[in-house]
Chain A
Amino acid sequence: GQNIDQPTEMTATEGAIVQINCTYQTSGFNGLFWYQQHAGEAPTFLSYNVLDGLEEKGRFSSFLSRSKGYSYLLLKELQMKDSASYLCAVRDSDYKLSFGAGTTVTVRA
């Protein structure tokens, strides 16, 4: 089975930076995804890492260390609209996705 851990909640101030950590133990590894889900809406794809290192996409960056079973999502210059749940998901050797329970980020003015 898969074990994916991420914090339940985080709070930050508008304009600040927040880092959401994700640790995983899976049977095989074929990439790690981050999704954003606003309340009552569909999860939307944010980033994908399959090799070690940092992937940057505008205000969002995602990092992966396969040897440590660790990833983080970095949100910079936080805006109120970034308040959402952020889901870490790992794809195993059968190309099946397993999700963490999600981290609810609240951005305060």
Chain B
Amino acid sequence: ETGVTQTPRHLVMGMTNKKSLKCEQHLGHNAMYWYKQSAKKPLELMFVYSLEERVENNSVPSRFSPECPNSSHLFLHLHTLQPEDSALYLCASSQDEGGGAYEQYFGPGTRLTVT
């Protein structure tokens, strides 16, 4: 247990569905992240929230929509996805204070399959 939880752990959805992924961190951190992990490829940073404001949006298609209502919760809203969006979606959190070894703590991920 890393102090970061994600639900659901597995999700199968059709291309016309709308679903949301949820992440919660119990570590008192002030920054949260969404990553996409595809087989044999590096983790791709999707979004970064610091102090509940989005500070990074890595050219992610608009069919992915993040939401950060407070410093402990992060959502990823999904709509009209494509089969190539099937991947493991990882949430992470860290304490960011402008320096130091503030490593990121990852959740277990949501395995998403788009049919």
Judging by beta carbons under 8 Å apart, are B101 and A101 in contact? no
| Pair A44/B2 contact, Cβ less than 8 Å | yes
**Residues of A in contact with B, size category:** 20 to 34
Which B residues are in CB contact (< 8 Å) with A95? Answer: 96, 98
In the complex, how many residue pairs between chain A and chain B have their CB atoms under 8 Å apart?
43
Does A4 have its Cβ within 8 Å of any Cβ on chain B?
yes
Q: Which residue of A lies closest to B2 (CB)?
A: A42
State the main secondary structure of chain B at its contact with A.
loop
Let me know if B103 and A98 touch, CB within 8 A. no
Q: In whole angstroms, how far apart are the Cα atoms of A96 and B45 in the complex?
A: 9
Q: Mark A70-108, 1 if CB is under 8 A from B, else 0.
A: 000000000000000001010000011111111000000
Is A63 on the interface with B (CB-CB < 8 A)? no
Determine whether A31 belongs to the interface, using a CB cutoff of 8 Å to chain B.
yes
Q: Collect the chain A residues with CB atoms within 8 Å of residue B42's CB.
A: 4, 98-102
Flag if A45 contacts B105 (CB, 8 Å): yes
The answer to whether B108 touches A42, judged by C-beta atoms less than 8 angstroms apart, is yes
A55 CB to closest chain B CB, in angstroms?
A: 10
Is B48 positioned at the interface, with any CB of A under 8 Å from its CB? yes
Residue pair B43, A87 in contact (C-beta under 8 Å): yes
Nearest to B35 among chain A residues (CB) is A99
Interface: B104 (CB within 8 A): yes
Tell me the bound Cα distance from A100 to B44 in angstroms. Answer: 10
Interface of A with B (CB < 8 Å)? Answer: 4, 8, 31, 33, 35, 40-45, 48, 50, 87, 89, 95-102
Chain B positions within 8 Å of A, measured between CB atoms, are 2, 4, 40-43, 45, 48, 56, 90, 96, 98, 101, 103-109
Q: 10 new A-B pairs (CB below 8 Å) besides A42-B2, A50-B101, A101-B41?
A: A40-B108, A42-B4, A42-B109, A43-B106, A45-B103, A45-B105, A89-B43, A95-B96, A96-B45, A97-B45
